[in-house]
Structure 1
Amino acid sequence: MKWCSVLLFSLNTCLFGNVAANAIQDRNLFATELFQTIATDKQNENVIISPVAIQTALGLAYYGADGKTAKELQRTLHAQSQSRNGIAKSYYKLLHSFVKPKTTLEIANKIYAKDALVIEQEFRDAAQKYFDSDAEQLDFTDEPKAVELINKWLAEKTNGKITNVLDNIEPDINVALVNAIYFKAKWARPFMDDETSDRDFWINENVTVKVPTMFADNWYNYADYADLDAKAIELFFENTDLRMWFILPNKRGGLHELEQKLKSVDFNAFEDRWQWSSVTVNLPKFKFEFDTDLKPYLLKLGIKTMFTDEADFSNIFHESPISTRVSRVQHKAFIDVNEIGCEAAAASVAVGVPMSLPWDPKSFIADHPFVFVIRDPHAIYFTGHIAKF
Structure 2
Amino acid sequence: MKWLCFAFLVQLVCIAKISCNSIRERNLFATELFQTIATENQQQNVIISPVAIQTALGLAYYGAEGKTATELQKGLHATAHQSKEGLAKSYHNLLHSYVKSKTILEIANKIYTREGMAIAPEFRAVAQKYFDSDAEELNFENETYAVREINQWLAEKTNGRIQNILTNIDPSTNVALVNAIFFKAKWARPFMDEETSERDFWLNAKQAIKVPTMFADNWYYYADYPELDAKAIELFFENIDLTMWFILPNKRDGLLELEQKLKGVDFKALEDRWEWKSVAVYLPKFKFEFDTDLKPALQKLGIETMFSGAADFSSIFQHSPINTRISQVQHKAFIDVNEIGCEAAAASVVVGVPMSLPLEPKTFVADHPFAFIIRDKYAMYFAGHIVKF
TM-score (norm 2): 0.94
The one-letter code matched in structure 1 to 2:113 is A
Tell me if 1:338 matches 2:338: yes
Report the counterpart of residue 55 of structure 1 in structure 2.
Answer: 54
Larger deviation: 316-325 or 297-306?
316-325
CA shift, 1:299, in A, is 0.4
Q: Which residue of 1 aligns with 2:219?
A: 219
- Rounded Cα–Cα distance in structure 2 between residues aligned with 1:48 and 1:95: 20
User: Deviation at 1:233?
Assistant: 0.1
Counterpart amino acid of 2:257? E
Query: 3-state SS of the aligned residue for 1:56?
Result: helix
- Measured after TM superposition, the shift of residue 121 of structure 1 is 1.0
Match of 1:7 among 6, 9, 30: 9
1:190 is paired with a residue of what secondary structure? coil
Cα pair 2:188 2:345 within 8 Å, conserved:
no
| Contact map agreement 1:12 1:320 (CA 8 A) in 2 | no
Q: Percent identity?
A: 71
For 1:91-110, list aligned pairs within 5 A.
91-110=91-110
Q: Aligned partners of 2:362 and 2:45: how far apart in 1?
A: 27
Distance 2:335 2:364 in 1: 21
Other structure's SS at 1:281 match: strand
* Superposed CA offset, 1:123-150 (max 9, x none): 1011000000011111111111101000
- 1:281: which partner in 2? 281
1:41-64 CA-to-partner distances (Å, cap 9, x unmatched) read: 000100000000000000000011
- The AA in structure 2 aligned to 1:349 is E
Distance 1:369 1:79 in 2: 33
1:261-280 equivalence runs, <5 A? 261-280=261-280
Task: Say whether the 8 Å CA contact 2:142–2:171 is kept in structure 1.
Answer: no
List per-residue Cα deviations over 1:152-181 (Å, max 9, x = no partner): 000100011111100111233221111000
Distance 1:6 1:276 in 2: 37
Q: Which residue of 2 aligns with 1:135?
A: 135
Aligned to 2:45: 46
Give the partner amino acid of 2:190.
P
3-state SS in 1 of match to 2:314 = coil
Count residues in correspondence: 377
1:97 positional shift:
1.1
Please state how far the C-alpha of 1:323 moved relative to its aligned partner. 2.0
Aligned amino acid, residue 9 of structure 1? Q
For 1:12, the aligned partner's letter is C
Per the alignment, residue 33 of structure 1 pairs with 32
- 25-34 vs 161-170, greater mean Cα deviation: 161-170
Residue 74 of structure 2 is matched in structure 1 by 75
Q: Deviations over 1:332-375 (max 9, x none)?
A: 0011111125xxxxxx7367998112133100000000000000
> After the TM superposition, which of the residue ranges 354-363 and 61-70 deviates more from structure 2?
354-363
Give me the whole-angstrom Cα distance separating, in 2, the residues matched to 1:112 and 1:40.
Answer: 33
- Judge conservation of contact 1:157–1:181 (CA < 8 Å) in 2: yes
SS in 2 for 1:123: helix
Structure 1 regions of 5+ residues with no counterpart? 14-18, 342-347
Cα root mean square deviation, aligned: 1.7
Per-residue deviation, 1:248 = 0.2
Deviation at 1:297, TM superposition (A): 0.4
TM-score normalised per structure 1: 0.94
- 2-structure distance, mates of 1:298, 1:113: 24
Q: Is the 8 A contact 1:140 1:171 kept in 2?
A: yes
Partners of 1:46 and 1:376 lie apart in 2 by 23
The residue aligned with 1:111 is 111
Cα distance in 2, alignment partners of residues 113 and 280 from structure 1: 53
Say if 1:10 and 1:95 are closer, same or farther in 2 by CA, change over 3 A: closer
The correspondence of residues 94-243 of structure 1 with structure 2, limited to 5 A, is: 94-243=94-243
Q: CA deviation at 1:99?
A: 2.3
1:303 equivalent to 2:303? Answer yes
Tell me by how many angstroms 1:22 deviates. 7.2
